Structure 1
Amino acid sequence: MESGLRLDKWLWVSRLYRTRTLATESVNGGKVRVNGQSAKPARLLRTGDEVSLIRGGEPMTVLVRGMAAQRVPAKDVPALYEETAESLATRQALRAQRALTGPAGYAGKGRPDKHARRALQRLREAQGE
């Protein structure tokens, strides 16, 4: 199938998105660009096109190397696309930066839970004696 494939279907077939619906929503949400231009889910992709996308909060740029009519096994994915060196370096830098900053989430604010409240009570009692 070398003539072309819909963008949303190719994203799903190449395992860049878990479902075709997620791929379509990402394209409609402006998170996917083809050759530097915004695209619609029905846009036909051809071999050699450059696809830029944001997946899991990480930007990624891949070159289309092949097409497949059906979703391929994970071991066959390298035949469908190749990630650019700049994209790979950027993603690794972002991962390293996230590893240094730690996980996002609870920063120690809010009310303590039962376990924390009892630990605070024990600490206060130990300091008072």
Structure 2
Amino acid sequence: MSSPSSSQPAAVRADVWLWAARFFKTRSLAKQAIDGGKVDLNDAGCKPSKMVRIGDVLRIGRGEERLEVEVLGLSEQRGPASVAQALYRESEASLAAREAAKAQRKLVGAMAPPGRPDKQARRELRRLKDSM
């Protein structure tokens, strides 16, 4: 009656692919990110229903992270992380930029004093601000 289906579909909705590739925890979060303009498909805007195909390039923004990935495989089901990582390949430029941003955040965090200021430190801060 029906022919056996292939292991990979020809195209998958963008929100479903982002969820299956584990970029977002739920499909509705993937949809919200796409609607919010955080995802571009092939250097153009994207809608949740836009079909993703093998070879497409996605630019994804998650918080401070910016990822540029090439689609290597398609899936409509969310599987283990090892399977999800096989669905895409991150570009070298994207990896380098993320590592540089990570190092920058680490430096900024190292310069900040640990924890909340105590009473003496608050008085010093107040004196410093008043003198400016």
Shared fold, TM over 0.5: yes
Structure 1 consecutive aligned stretches of length 4 or more whose deviation exceeds 4 Å: 105-109
How many residues matched?
112
Cα displacement string for residues 14-56 of structure 1 (whole angstroms, at most 9, x for unaligned residues)? 0011111110000000000000001100000000000001013
CA distance in 1, matches of 2:104, 2:49: 36
- TM-score, normalised by the number of residues in structure 2: 0.77
Which is higher, the Rg of structure 1 or of structure 2? Answer: 1
Structure 2 alignment gaps of length 5 or more: 1-7, 121-132
Query: 1:2·1:46 contact (CA, 8 Å) conserved in 2?
Result: no
User: Partner amino acid for 1:14?
Assistant: A
CA RMSD of aligned residues (A): 2.2
Residues 89 and 107 of structure 1, relative CA distance in 2, 3 Å threshold:
same
Query: 1:2·1:66 contact (CA, 8 Å) conserved in 2?
Result: no
Residues 70 and 108 of structure 1, relative CA distance in 2, 3 Å threshold:
closer
- TM-score, normalised by the number of residues in structure 1: 0.79
CA distance in 2, matches of 1:72, 1:65: 16
Structure 1 alignment gaps of length 5 or more: 121-129
Residues 107 and 30 of structure 1, relative CA distance in 2, 3 Å threshold:
farther
Residues 106 and 53 of structure 1, relative CA distance in 2, 3 Å threshold:
farther
